């Protein structure tokens, strides 16, 4: 999955299960399923053949050079708009290319589903907005993506330059990989309303130094919350909750991290 130097995958002609094309992309034998686009492939544009009706989960993972994913016009399953990949009806956003140069992106009104980790490693992206007519998703004035009720924070753009961010009080859940991999974020404050943090929520946020939790009860955790962070963190928690947080986080906090009780809290970005 992290084979970032891999530029081409070839298959022996006599292999009964798999095939490849002249550009080194891996398919099943019939070329009806795209299995893996090589992460290190240099091409900026790729067109999904008409024969493909299935793309394997994370088939375009970490393809930093890929700026546009097109779909052959006659493809029955997929479509593309400005290099972003959708299903044919444009109701599901499947992949935003990691190498796309645009700083801002607007989710169309038609999109009611966003595929898991569709915006992962999009380090040029600083703002995600949503069409006002979209019934499922919303954004704030800072370009952060939420569900319509702003109870789930779905994606904090990886290229956003702010050093500090306070999650709104309406949020009860942080989505999978929501802040991963923020390039600039140093401090983040989670509200008292937070109940759940999905896997890899803060993965690879390598400048992160301070995390504030305003809930007296630790939220439900998942795997890999702090993966990719090798330096110590300072976690600020409400009075009387240090022991509970230390117990919950002991196995997943970076080495030498500390949990401190603090009240009142400084605003995000303040010392």
Can you spell out the DSSP letters for 25-64? -EEETTS-EEEE--TT---SEEEE-TT--EE-TTTTTT-T
Q: Enter the tokens of residue 136.
A: 């499922």
- Quote the DSSP letter at residue 245: H
8 Å CB contact between 175 and 203: no
Total H helices, total E strands in the chain: 1, 22
pLDDT score for 4 = 79
Give the three-class secondary structure for 19: strand
Q: What is the mean pLDDT of each run of 10 residues along the chain (271 residues)?
A: 85 96 94 96 97 94 94 98 97 97 98 94 96 97 96 97 97 96 96 96 96 95 91 96 93 93 66 52
Q: Is the peptide bond before 240 cis (omega within 30 degrees of 0)?
A: no
pLDDT score for 268 = 59
Helices (H), ranges, 127-250: 242-249
8 Å CB contact between 226 and 203: yes
pLDDT score for 40 = 94
The span from the CA of 199 to the CA of 44, in Å, is 30
pLDDT score for 143 = 97
């Amino acid at each position: 999955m992290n084979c970032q130097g891999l530029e081409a995958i070839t298959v022996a002609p006599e292999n009964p299960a798999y095939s490849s094309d002249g550009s080194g992309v891996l398919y099943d034998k019939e070329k009806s399923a795209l299995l893996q686009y090589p992460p290190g492939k240099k091409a900026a544009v790729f067109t999904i053949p008409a024969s493909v009706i299935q793309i394997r989960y994370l088939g375009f993972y970490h393809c930093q050079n890929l700026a546009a994913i097109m779909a052959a016009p006659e493809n029955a399953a997929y479509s593309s708009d400005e290099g972003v990949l959708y299903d044919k009806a444009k109701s599901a956003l499947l992949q935003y290319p990691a190498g796309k140069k645009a700083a801002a992106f607007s989710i169309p009104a038609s999109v009611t589903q966003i595929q898991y980790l569709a915006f992962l490693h999009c380090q040029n992206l600083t703002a995600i907005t949503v069409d006002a007519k979209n019934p499922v998703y919303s954004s704030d004035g800072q370009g952060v993506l939420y569900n319509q009720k702003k109870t789930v924070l779905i994606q904090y753009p990886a290229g956003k330059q702010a050093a500090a961010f306070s999650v709104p009080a309406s949020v009860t859940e942080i989505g999978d990989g929501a802040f991963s991999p923020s390039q600039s974020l140093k401090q983040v404050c989670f509200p008292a309303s937070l109940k759940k943090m999905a896997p890899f929520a803060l993965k690879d946020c390598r400048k992160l130094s301070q995390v504030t939790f305003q809930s007296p009860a630790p939220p439900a955790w998942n795997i890999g919350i702090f993966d990719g962070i090798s330096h110590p963190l300072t976690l600020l928690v409400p009075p009387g909750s240090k022991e509970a947080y230390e117990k919950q986080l002991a196995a997943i906090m970076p080495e030498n991290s500390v949990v401190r009780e603090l009240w009142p809290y400084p605003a995000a970005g303040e010392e």
